[in-house]
A and B are shown apart, each in its own frame.
Chain A
């Protein structure tokens, strides 16, 4: 048992890329009891049910009380969770999931095929206002309960990403009885099968979770079985990063997320605080260049911009080694990620020649390039909600270095809605938009020309406005292909074309750093979307 525990943690840490072994190793036998306070820097969700809307803050907290049909291990393989096994039909259009028969929701409702059907229905019901889950189920035509333990998904076309989609917290299973309640009630206290139960939620302050003593259904890669160790979890929302870290220092809280680079560096010095780094899956953090309009409709200008931006120095100075530079469109945790450093060297000279070739020959008083009277300027709206300060500083440094080559980068920090508005109005030349989704299928969402067509809300995911039939072709086939190797090849071809087209300037993985008091042991993140799970965590006090 102990061996298993540490072993698994070791695996988890391999991924984490940062040892959680503090000075107070070796840790003793896990002890039950105690209250853990988690301080989240993400915005407080407006609804604790991740079906509604579906953003990362919801994923973070709901992972403590909701569980999905499947999960993913640190190697990226899909592993059983609430579903013990699954079998796709040969045409890939129907999937049968065999469910655990020993699981009940914390309100006593039995977890069965009917429950799954109800959940999928709930997700696809427009009045639920689901967005993430809704999109992920785009190809799911229908769900039926074959038996109490077998549920069948019928697809409109093969979907190689189905399992990855189902592994995400936004598609987690909730008690159908609870789902019948009004949305307000369900938002305030969603009912799942997880190791903890939502006890109360004081808006603007904290969510209180208590242990689910009847818990039986940890994912296959969990550190132990049976109920969680912690009695209680206080889930606080402290948006101000400085206050959050100070609170951790003062021992007011035990775990914080969205740790800023400088605080991570401080934590390295301190014995009392440990770090847990677990990059998010899906796309890397990158700057997308709007190839849909001038000046970036010209590949030479796109390359020139990328070559003129000194990203390496910016990242090293601002992230102080807490983030590694990425040369890929995908997160480094994606097995299928293709990385090509050569394309992204900082080379002002090359950039200059490229601009000359592209016709941006003259330059004006301020040293900016000009082409027939038009200054070479780049509109760059920045979402202050989605880009942490360090990242905004990276942009500022890119602005500064690109200036030397003659780019005028106009940074415009905006609140979320104005930012979306700017994108919807196609009022941008460069933009950075994180996108978290399990698996390489994220590429289809981000770079398939279909995604240029705005949703009713005006939002569209293909912000680089990549419109390349070949890429479309590759991505669509990949999404249909269930054979792993074939799929990987298709995706790597697609990535090559995207990278070589200089549509994106990769920066680093979506940062996902946690800091914890060193007496918090066994905390790990789910390899699905890298949200922490407190199931294995215990207090070594």
Chain B
């Protein structure tokens, strides 16, 4: 009977945590929406004008009037605010000024490309980091020094420079890979490399650090004393510990990949959120900017939940308390 009580309490705790998380997520979304809404109210100029493609469009007064009415720009701000929230609640992200289509479909259609990019880059970064870390723990002091330098430099590489350098060397000079995304796999190589290398620098540093700590820890010593091989010590014990901090970093990594996508997608002419966002920023296409930001916020929240789940999977201690 004590058992069942304990189990019930545990279940309640889980539910409570989930509820808390959900509430937190909703709060963040609401806040993001509100901030963006009021922020864009600071933009000078007549939004109706913007809808019609900026002052260059030489829009007729009739058109302006029509748009003003359609978008409710004549309403008081607070009304517009709640209207906006209402629309967002129903998943309606509004209509793009420049691209003249609904933001929801637009953003969703762009989401895929960016996600593929981000996920692949994250995976590659993990592989690179893991390889470097394990290699450096084997190779002794020199290897460690080399690894550190590689990681620091990698982590300092700006995406745009790395991207252009890769294009010049790999596509223009050597002609190995297509300089733009062709939709094919080959076209993915350079963008993914561009995003993965700097990230691998970060992950590598943190993994190697925790790998060394783990390998020097008493429990690995006792494992060795049991006759465990170096490989065993690495794969059975150390790597698991080493992956924990890196996993918890992946939430951040995802964020940085998204901002990296802004640059990479532009340079490699890949369809995606980043390029859409940049385009919208230069055109002051407010609804699209908000749309992208919201989607990214959602993705970001999901990602943090995901990494959370992942680390619980790897670290049973988290499942206990």
Chain A residues with a Cβ under 8 A of chain B: 46-47, 52-53, 126-127, 129, 131, 134-135, 183-184, 187, 202-205, 236-240, 242-244, 246-247, 249-250, 252, 415-417, 420-421, 423-424, 455-459
Contact = CB atoms under 8 A, between A and B. Distances in A.
Given A204-B110, A415-B282, 5 more contacts: A129-B57, A246-B172, A249-B179, A417-B56, A459-B56
9 contacts: A53-B57, A129-B59, A204-B271, A204-B275, A240-B269, A247-B269, A250-B175, A252-B180, A455-B58
Contact of A421 (B45, B64, B283): B45
Contacts of A126: 60, 62-63, 66
Contacts of B269: 236-240, 243-244, 247
B59 A131 contact: yes
B275 A417 contact: no
Contact of A246 (B63, B101, B167, B276): B167
A249 B176 CA distance: 12
B242 to A, nearest CB: 38
B210 to A, nearest CB: 39
A135 B56 CA distance: 13
Contact of A242 (B101, B109, B164): B164
Given A129-B59, A242-B164, A456-B60, A252 B267 contact: no
Contacts of A456: 59-61, 64
Contacts of A239: 266, 269
B63 A250 contact: no
Given A184-B100, A457-B59, A247 B45 contact: no
Given A203-B106, A416-B283, A421-B45, A46 B180 contact: no
A204 B109 CA distance: 10
Contact of B55 (A47, A205, A249, A459): A459
A267 to B, nearest CB: 14
B106 to A, nearest CB: 6
Contact of B182 (A204, A252, A420): A252
Contacts of A134: 60
Contacts of A205: 271
Given A126-B60, A243-B167, A203 B99 contact: yes
B239 interface: no
Interface in B139-193: 164, 167, 171-172, 175, 178-180, 182
Interface in B213-257: none
A129 B52 CA distance: 8
Nearest to B110: A204
A135 B279 CA distance: 28
Contacts of B206: none
Contacts of B178: 247, 250, 252
Contact of B171 (A52, A250, A416): A250
Nearest to B98: A46
B58 A459 contact: yes
A237 B164 CA distance: 19
A78 B276 CA distance: 41
B283 A417 contact: yes
Contacts of A458: 55
Contact of A204 (B54, B276, B282): B276
Contacts of B66: 126-127
Contacts of B63: 126-127, 129
B53 interface: yes
User: Which of A247, A417, A421, A457 has the most chain B CB within a 10 Å cutoff?
Assistant: A457
A46 B99 contact: yes
A53 B60 contact: no
Nearest to B284: A417
Contacts of A127: 62-63, 66
B121 interface: no
Nearest to A47: B100
Interface in B259-285: 266-269, 271-272, 275-276, 279, 282-284
Contacts of A129: 52, 57, 59-60, 63
Nearest to B56: A420
B50 interface: yes
Nearest to B66: A127
Interface in B273-299: 275-276, 279, 282-284
Contacts of A183: 100
B101 A184 contact: yes
A121 to B, nearest CB: 15
A131 B55 contact: no
B304 interface: no
Contacts of A417: 45, 50, 54-56, 283-284
Contacts of B205: none
B52 A457 contact: yes
A58 B96 CA distance: 18
A439 B172 CA distance: 41
Nearest to B265: A204
Interface in B93-109: 96, 98-101, 106, 109
A203 B106 CA distance: 8
B194 interface: no
Contacts of B136: none
Query: 10 smallest A-B Cβ distances: which pairs?
Result: A420-B55, A246-B179, A417-B54, A126-B62, A205-B271, A204-B271, A238-B269, A456-B61, A131-B58, A247-B180
